[in-house]
Structure 1
Amino acid sequence: MNVPVKTNDLEAFWMPFSANRQFKKAPRMFVAADRMHYTTDDGRKVLDGTAGLWCCNAGHNRPKIVEAIRQQAGELDYAPAFQMGHPKVFEFASKLVNVAPPGFNHVFFTNSGSESVETALKMALAYHRVKGNGSKFRLIGRERGYHGVNFGGISVGGIVSNRKMFGTLLTGVDHMRHTHDPARNAFTKGQPEYGAEFADDLERIVALHDASTIAAVIIEPMAGSTGVLMPPKGYLEKIRAICDKHDILLIFDEVITGYGRLGAPFATDYFGVSPDIIVTAKGVTNGVIPMGAVFAKSKIHDVFMTGPEHLIEFFHGYTYSGNPIACAAGIGTLETYKEEGLLTRGAELAPYWEEQLHSLKGLPHVIDIRNMGLIGAIELEPIAGEPTKRAFSCFLDAFEHNLLIRTTGDIIALSPPLIISKSEIDQLFEILRGVLTRAA
């Protein structure tokens, strides 16, 4: 028999990606948010240095998004996604492909980045099968890659802690080497000079398995959750060329880099390298309503559109694919991005952001700093025998001094809302300078 618990009992909620016991001894609670700041339960204003979780690109409590959700909830709260539709989902899809990189004319809706990754992987496998190349079943990821937490995503992903507890995962998966090379590229501003040759590791994998068995390669054009790793100059171009050579689909995971984070609408635009499928989520609705969107080129989509018209072409989807309220939030988000120029505003602020970020060089335990667009990473020397502790201590100290940062391993990751001002950038790095100065 369950013993009733109080409605505010912290033990009922098993928190994701959290040190549950530590948190519940000293909870950190947000109760409100507006533009660049959160409000804590004790009334403090905390500067959002991470756009929530890489997702609130337009900041918080934005009027067009709030009003769109309110109106939609009172008009049509849910409509079935299978064999039925509603106007908002078609309107939103049309608006999205108009801001997508050239050639991406179709969008498939999901509910998260993890689901977007699963969708893209299945889309790639099914594409080759429909074309008569069913022997192409292998999926290639990258060490230190992060592609969500579903079984496909952690299989192609390359972060040890996300993989080690969950058995054999998917079969037929291999991994390229990561590109992190601090010995040659420490304190680089923008793309590193060295490391394009890491792309040649894909040729090694092709030689091992044969191209006839490889369906797709999935990479983050800029790896985010592993600690903000920038692609070396020429690296993405070489990956694209190798995929073309061997008839392998290239999937870009832009869950973090999509919707203005690098100062261009997508990393695909920023780097000028075009994949075959783009995975997105987070910023598609400004993080307000769970949603993901997978962009596919016509060459992918059109292969499926054959056979009798009454048959389902792609046996995949979710109960909440294209949810009406999520679509309304997405339309409000795109309108906000457009009116405020947020899909490119990062390019204007990037030089100032870079200057302030790299001014932290020389502070205690700082062994690397890297940046691109409105993203930054500060890598710290780990405490001997206690990995991650130094960065986590900085996270706690920053919160106490009214700044929200993100840590992964012993790396501090920064990705503020794209509405941040120069004075708020100054405030962010002033707080962080104090945090790093005090770091044990």
Structure 2
Amino acid sequence: MKTPALWSAQAHMPSIIDRQIRVVSAQGAYLTTDKGSRLFDGTSSLWYSNIGHGREEMAQVAYEQMRTLDAYHVFGRYTNDRAVELSEKLVDIAPMDNAKVILNSGGSDAIDVALKLARRYWNHIGRKTKTVIISREHSYHGLHAYGTSVAGLDFNREGYGTDSLVSGTERVEKHSTTAFAEAIERIGAENIAAYIAEPILGTGGVHPPQEGYFEEIQKMCRDNEILFIADEVITGFGRTGSMFASTRYGLQPDIVTFAKGVTSGYAALGGIFVAPRLWQPFFERNANAPIYRHGTTYSGHPVTAALALKNLEILEQESLIERSAHLEQVLSNSLSEIESHELVASTRVGGLLGAIELRDIAQAEVITDQLLDLGFISRPLRGNSVQISPPFISTDQEVRSLVEAVRYLLDDIQPARIRA
């Protein structure tokens, strides 16, 4: 049989060649395949389809912007109206005061720009030994070289010749402030540039922060002059019922990365918010001000920026962040009902982000495959967990029905196999 020309992302190609699902159209919270199947998008694609698919107003914005200015870069002296307008809007809603924005093409790009900036900042102010980046086990920070190196999912680093593509990275236990303190003592605060964390671990299994964890982490960062970076690529723009999880959890980061929900997936866009402490040295009006030598071709792309602006307008005008907060409670209630199932180890929810962790006899990968036959899309996450993170426009019943479909499949597993 002929092999496909497209090499799919994060795929074991031999096992999917005969099983690929070709999506041909989408509307609202549903996708349609070339076989005519209509599937509820229970993961918002890769966590991003917040406003839903197929919105005519988004297509119209892209068309109008392409007719005016299809593309131009923001390197050096050049900029464009939409990039400026978007940056000003983002600063207005940022989870930090007086921020600056660096735009790029996605979440993995955002991690690169954030971690490079952390090292560049310390180098500029004469603290050149501060280069080590500390992250958490089971974390996910994209798949560029920096993100691969700092991620706490070890399988993403396998086969590249070394433990890390970028040197000077360390990982600590995800909920342990003691582990972070021990790492500071062992490595030396004078050698640590930054600590990076997802407010809610996403791909690592949807783990919200434990009470008091980030308060203590941030204090240690302040006391030891370590930059605190919040990776909000998944959680930003309403996914946790607040515009940013940093606001919900009282975080005060030096850098915040974002992507996904900024356009709800209608265009590839990411970036970072930068606190005054970091950006001010690069904006000083003197000949010795450094250049931060980083940029991507499509940074500030006018069509992408126009789509982001429209997406943010829709979130506000339709009160979709409030809707997300409401659906969190619907999801939480549904998960509490399935948690007593004998094949469920635990459930977790943080915003409109949920996970059902299964006992070993029920494999999340099998369950998510079987959900397709019932009309639902989900994904297996680390820890044998089933992901639930639907669009903000979903109905209460659609959220409940996805959880009920998981229960239906678990009920079909023979109890005798469980007791054997």
Question: What TM-score range do you get, normalising by the shorter chain?
Answer: over 0.9
Q: Provide the rounded CA distance (Å) in 2 between the counterparts of 1:418 and 1:304.
A: 38
- 1:207-356 to structure 2, matched below 5 A, reads 207-306=185-284, 308=286, 313-356=291-334
Q: Provide the rounded CA distance (Å) in 2 between the counterparts of 1:321 and 1:34.
A: 28
C-alpha displacement at 1:311, in angstroms? 7.4
Q: Which amino acid aligns with 1:35?
A: G
C-alpha displacement at 1:62, in angstroms? 2.0
Deviates more, 1:101-110 or 1:44-53: 101-110
Q: Provide the rounded CA distance (Å) in 1 between the counterparts of 2:309 and 2:403.
A: 33
Percent identity reads: 32
C-alpha displacement at 1:94, in angstroms? 0.7
Task: Tell me the residue number matched to 2:66.
Answer: 73
Deviates more, 1:12-21 or 1:282-291: 12-21
C-alpha displacement at 1:307, in angstroms? 5.8
Normalising by structure 2, report the TM-score.
0.94
Q: Provide the rounded CA distance (Å) in 2 between the counterparts of 1:253 and 1:175.
A: 15
Q: Which amino acid aligns with 1:71?
A: E
Q: Which amino acid aligns with 2:376?
A: L
Q: Which amino acid aligns with 1:418?
A: F
Q: Which amino acid aligns with 2:213?
A: Y
1:25 aligns to what SS in structure 2? Answer: coil
C-alpha displacement at 1:431, in angstroms? 2.0
Say whether residues 1:107 and 2:79 are aligned partners: no
Contact 1:64–1:335 (8 Å) recurs in 2: no
Query: Could you report, residue by residue, the CA deviation over 1:264-298 in whole angstroms, capped at 9, with x for unpaired residues?
Result: 01110110121110011111111111110201111
Q: Which amino acid aligns with 2:167?
A: T
C-alpha displacement at 1:28, in angstroms? 1.4
Gaps of 5+ in 1: 180-197, 384-388
Q: Provide the rounded CA distance (Å) in 2 between the counterparts of 1:128 and 1:26.
A: 49
C-alpha displacement at 1:309, in angstroms? 5.8
Q: Provide the rounded CA distance (Å) in 2 between the counterparts of 1:273 and 1:352.
A: 26
Query: Could you report, residue by residue, the CA deviation over 1:124-154 in whole angstroms, capped at 9, with x for unpaired residues?
Result: 1111111221121111111111111111111
- Relative to structure 1, is the Cα distance of residues 78 and 10 closer, same or farther in structure 2, using a 3 angstrom cutoff? farther
Name which of 111, 115, 125 aligns with 1:117.
111
Query: Could you report, residue by residue, the CA deviation over 1:357-397 in whole angstroms, capped at 9, with x for unpaired residues?
Result: 221123342111111211111111224xxxxx811111111
Say whether residues 1:414 and 2:388 are aligned partners: yes
Say whether residues 1:36 and 2:29 are aligned partners: yes
Q: Provide the rounded CA distance (Å) in 1 between the counterparts of 2:212 and 2:288.
A: 46
2:330 aligns to what SS in structure 1? Answer: helix
C-alpha displacement at 1:31, in angstroms? 0.8
Q: Provide the rounded CA distance (Å) in 2 between the counterparts of 1:146 and 1:26.
A: 26
Task: Tell me the residue number matched to 1:184.
Answer: none
Query: Could you report, residue by residue, the CA deviation over 1:145-174 in whole angstroms, capped at 9, with x for unpaired residues?
Result: 111111111111110110122222222211
Q: Which amino acid aligns with 1:80?
A: H
Aligned length, in residue pairs:
410
C-alpha displacement at 1:423, in angstroms? 2.0
Task: Tell me the residue number matched to 1:51.
Answer: 44
- Relative to structure 1, is the Cα distance of residues 95 and 64 closer, same or farther in structure 2, using a 3 angstrom cutoff? farther
C-alpha displacement at 1:428, in angstroms? 1.9
- Relative to structure 1, is the Cα distance of residues 342 and 246 closer, same or farther in structure 2, using a 3 angstrom cutoff? same
C-alpha displacement at 1:97, in angstroms? 1.3
C-alpha displacement at 1:310, in angstroms? 10
Name which of 365, 373, 396 aligns with 1:392.
365
Q: Provide the rounded CA distance (Å) in 2 between the counterparts of 1:79 and 1:312.
A: 25
Q: Provide the rounded CA distance (Å) in 1 between the counterparts of 2:265 and 2:411.
A: 33
Task: Tell me the residue number matched to 1:176.
Answer: 172
Task: Tell me the residue number matched to 2:418.
Answer: none
Contact 1:305–1:313 (8 Å) recurs in 2: no
Say whether residues 1:433 and 2:407 are aligned partners: yes
Q: Provide the rounded CA distance (Å) in 2 between the counterparts of 1:437 and 1:114.
A: 39
Contact 1:116–1:293 (8 Å) recurs in 2: yes
Contact 1:64–1:336 (8 Å) recurs in 2: no
Gaps of 5+ in 2: 415-420
Contact 1:140–1:218 (8 Å) recurs in 2: yes
Contact 1:252–1:277 (8 Å) recurs in 2: yes
Contact 2:330–2:400 (8 Å) recurs in 1: no
Name which of 7, 15, 23 aligns with 1:14.
7
Normalising by structure 1, report the TM-score.
0.89
